[in-house]
Amino acid sequence: MTRQIPNIAGALFLGLLVIFPLIYNGADYDYVMHILITGFFYAILAASWSMLSGYAGQFSFGHMGFMAIGAYTTGLFCHYIYLSPEPTGLCAETQLFGQWLVVVNPIGVTSTTLTQDCLRQALEAWGGSVEVTPMPVLLGIVLGAVMGAVAGFLVGMLVLRLRAAYLALFTLGFSEILKATISAEIDITRGQAGLELPPLYASGITLFGTHFGPTDKIPPYYTMLALLLVCLVILGWLAHSRFGLFVRALREDQDAAAALGVNTTRYKVLVFTVTCSMAAAAGAAQGHYVQIITPNMLFLLQMSLVVAMAVIGGIENFVAAAIGAIILQVVLELLRNSFVIGGVEIDMTIWRLVFFGLLLMITLRFFRNGLIAPLIDRFRRHGVAEETVAGRASSITGPDTAPAGGPHRTEAPD
Amino acid sequence: MIHLKVTNLHKRFGGNHVLKGVSFEVNGPELIGLIGPNGAGKTTLTNILDGAIKPTSGTVYLGERRIDQFPPFEVARAGLGRTFQVTRSFRRMTVLENLFVPALALGHARGRADLTERAMEVLEFLTIDHLRNEYAQALSGGQQKLLELGRLLMLDPDVIILDEPFAGVHPGLMEVIYAYIRRVNDAGKAIILISHQMDPIFSLCGRLLVLNFGDLIADGPPDEVKNDPAVIEAYLGAEEEETA
């Protein structure tokens, strides 16, 4: 029963998240929903990063880069590609299943419309007789995830021989190059001006018998929550399969794992592919939710935030990392409220980051596996060892040979 | 029939010629001791056999397969397993999980129950079955040695290289390792035992290989080898040097 406590607590927490939008009715409803949606976004990033770095030991600083690949893939896809029943004769186009796939001109920095140059000219020429269709957002998100997987696969292949700090520096470099490229390719990406994306549900959606408009928070809330759950289920399945076992062996000792028959190359590349795909899917969905993406999402501070969330939750437990991300996102927002002490105003918009940094330092110093993961582990491993290592060693080799001073438990856990 | 054939193996690290044309064969379930002073090239030879490093020249055949260009995981799958001089257990994985890794990597297990049953048999034989759910980092140094041996049993290779299995182990646990080596050898596996401790080498091995500065200077029964002047010189130094 004790070992089931984490499952029960997890189910209750999930249940609370599912019903929360239906029972909460505060005046700041949209704001609170936004915080939680963003929390789910960070939870996907933290959980997938936990699998990559905590389980597999591949300490990557490029996770936000893969997130951006997903966001920009769907952003560019929705900006540049349309379906038309008639050829424009002006744009680059190809026929596909009886429709014309139209690729419009680069958007440039001044354009504020989704239809660019050649397509606009064609629409004017048609005078409303032909209707073009933007590409579906869902397809954009799927493409974003696929592109993230491809990029993850390629980077995974490139870093096969890199370990520890070299791997971290390589992935950091990858992320910085990506940011510079997005910033520089102004004609295509609009650079620092940012790329506008269509909303997740441009025509709204009907849920529970109620129609929600494109700006309502409930549809993106459940979309992001569903995406988080899908990612957690996949990660859970992987963690409990031979994949999970092998990537943990990879983390512990790559050479020893290889000497025992584990194809370390395959699993290193696979773990990059899977986790980067998840980061990209999260980036794509979040991009459509906030409706604008910029290269600033690749700032090192953003990556540090994800790392800190995973570390504080528990880097070696992706569920703990996800829960940590949601809780920290909420706490960081709560800490925005400034207050006055003795006539001096404490500006928490700045001090909250100090609090966050302190929490991170304390966690790293005293709780190396985070604050939540050890709790889960404590329940999960309840009663695992009734007989102590030291005691058994004594029985085998005599009392004077019991290992002294090591990390052995001297009593069974509660 | 086990047949490991090492032919004219050379390894250079820059200007350092570490192995100088080493050749030997292992035929059937032999129990061979590989000895030599520090810097003789034992670990380099082991790393080449295991696939961790590639030879500068020379070949290694296991049965009909040439394995000297294989990556380590393919060498393991071809039937050659090893332990490391410094114990390399998967410290933050449980004892059982440590044993599952090789079995699952080779697809030996027929199901979860079969896998667990086999792992428990191995742990019982090694007298650490009560630690099955402990993290490997909670085990003593000697117990981690046993765990490493257990992983090899799960890998079930034809040729096993044991690199310093007795180093830093209490006499009580040494008995367990002795029993392990004899049982595995009796089960038809060839074992290459590397150790600086001569007692186990002479009591267990029927054949010795002696390396000195990259040369294989002796290959034969222990009684013959220990009286070989070249071996005596390698271990004790030349007479002139001794008296100098």
- Contacts with B226 (C-beta within 8 Å, 6 or more apart), sequence order: B202, B208, B232
Reported as a single tens digit per residue, the pLDDT across A229-263 is 999 999 999 999 999 999 999 999 999 999 999 99
Measured between beta carbons, the chain A residues lying within 8 angstroms of B101 are: 245-246, 249, 257, 260, 262
pLDDT over 90 percentage in chain A: 55
Work out the mean pLDDT of chain A and round it to a whole number. Answer: 86
- Across the interface, of A252, A381, A387, the residue whose CB is closest to B130 is A387
At residue A385, does pLDDT exceed 90? no
pLDDT for the residue A388: 44
pLDDT at A375: 86
| Chain B partners within 8 Å of A387 (Cβ) | 130
The partner residue sitting opposite A262, judged by closest CB among B88, B105, B142, is B105
The gap from C-alpha A73 to its chain's centroid, in whole angstroms, comes to: 16
A303 to chain B nearest CA, in Å?
26
**Cβ A253–B90 below 8 Å, yes or no?**
yes
- DSSP letter for A52, please: I
Q: Tokens 């990390």 identify what position?
A: A407
CA-CA distance, A158 to B130, in Å (whole number)? 42
Mutate to test the interface with B, among A53, A238, A260 (most CBs of B within 10 A): A260
The band of A390, judged by pLDDT with boundaries at 50, 70 and 90, is very low
pLDDT value for A395: 45
Interchain contact, A255 vs B88, CB within 8 Å = yes
CB A285 within 8 A of CB A169: no
Out of A246, A265, A389, closest to residue B138 by CB:
A389
* Other Cβ atoms within 10 Å of A169 Cβ, number: 12
pLDDT class of A326 with cuts at 50, 70, 90: very high
pLDDT of A68 higher than 50: yes
Q: How many CA atoms are closer than 13 Å to the CA of A137, on its beta-carbon side?
A: 20
The CA-CA-CA angle for residues B18, B21, B27, to 5°, reads 115
Least confident of A164-168, A189-193, A347-351: A347-351
Put simply, whether A246 touches B (Cβ < 8 Å) is: yes
SS3 content of chain B, % helix, strand, coil (to 5): 40, 25, 30
Residue B138 at interface with chain A, using a CB cutoff of 8 Å: yes
Contact A252 B93 (CB under 8 A): yes
Amino acid occupying residue A295: P
pLDDT in tens, A10-59: 899 999 999 999 999 888 999 999 999 999 999 999 999 999 999 999 99
Give pLDDT, residue A111: 53
Q: In this predicted structure, what is the pLDDT of residue A165? A: 87
Share of chain A above pLDDT 70, in %: 90
Chain B contact for A395, CB < 8 A?
no
User: Given this model, what pLDDT does residue B158 score?
Assistant: 94
* B106–A409 C-beta distance less than 8 A: no
- A411 lies within 8 A of chain B by CB: no
Q: Which of B73, B127, B173 sits opposite A258 (nearest CB)?
A: B73
Residue from B101, B133, B146 to probe the interface with A (highest A Cβ count within 10 Å):
B101
Q: What is the ipTM of this complex?
A: 0.90
Phi, psi of B207, deg, nearest 5:
-155, 145
- pLDDT attached to residue B239: 54
- Candidates A232, B168, B164; CA nearest to B181 is B164
Say if A405 is an interface residue toward chain B (CB within 8 Å): no
Residue numbers of chain B with a pLDDT score lower than 50: 241-244
Please give the residue of chain A at the shortest CA–CA distance from B149.
Answer: A260
**What is the pLDDT, as a whole number, of residue A118?**
85
Q: What is the pLDDT of residues B141-162, one digit of tens each?
A: 888 999 999 999 999 999 999 9
A–B: how many Cβ contacts below 8 A? 111
**Partner-chain residue, chosen from B73, B81, B141, that has the shortest CB–CB distance to A262:** B73
A124 touches chain B (CB under 8 A): no
Nearest-CA residue of chain A relative to B85? A256
Cβ–Cβ contact A398 with B under 8 A: yes
Flag whether residue B82 sits within 8 Å of chain A, measured between CB atoms: yes
Q: Which residues of A259-268 are buried (b: 16+ CB within 10 A; e: fewer)?
A: bbbbbbbebb
B151-170 residues touching A, CB cutoff 8 A: 151, 155, 170
Which residues of chain A make contact with B176, given a CB cutoff of 8 A?
A: 396
Where is pLDDT greater, at A395 or A247? A247
Which chain A residues contact residue B173 at CB under 8 A? Answer: 396-397
Q: Which of B51, B72, B140 sits opposite A403 (nearest CB)?
A: B140
Chain B partners of A401 at a C-beta cutoff of 8 Å?
Answer: 170, 172
Q: Does the structural domain B2-236 have CATH classification 3.40.50.300?
A: yes
For chain B, the C-alpha Rg in angstroms (whole number) is: 18
pLDDT higher at A114 or B165: B165
Is residue A263 less than 8 Å (CB to CB) from chain B? yes
Burial class (CB in 10 A: 0-12, 13-18, 19+), B206: exposed
Would an 8 Å CB–CB cutoff place B36 in contact with chain A? no
* Predicted confidence band of residue A96 (pLDDT cuts 50, 70, 90): confident
Q: In what order do the strands lie in the sheet with B215-220?
A: B80-82, B159-163, B190-194, B31-35, B207-212, B215-220
Whether A392 contacts chain B with CB within 8 A: yes
Residue-range domain boundaries for chain B: 2-236
Task: Say yes or no: A408 contacts chain B, CB-CB below 8 A.
Answer: yes
Token look-up 């909303």 returns A199
Q: Do A261 and B77 touch (CB under 8 A)?
A: yes
Nearest to B208 by CA among B188, B229, B186, B223: B223
- pLDDT digits 0-9 by tens, A126-149: 888 888 998 999 999 999 999 999
Average pLDDT over residues A401-411: 31
Q: Does B127 touch chain A (CB under 8 A)?
A: yes
Residues of B in contact with A397 (CB under 8 A): 142, 170-173
Query: What single DSSP character describes residue B167?
Result: T
Which residue, among A333, A252, A349, A358, has the nearest Cα to A39 in the 3D structure?
A333
Report the residue of chain A nearest B79, measured CA to CA: A261
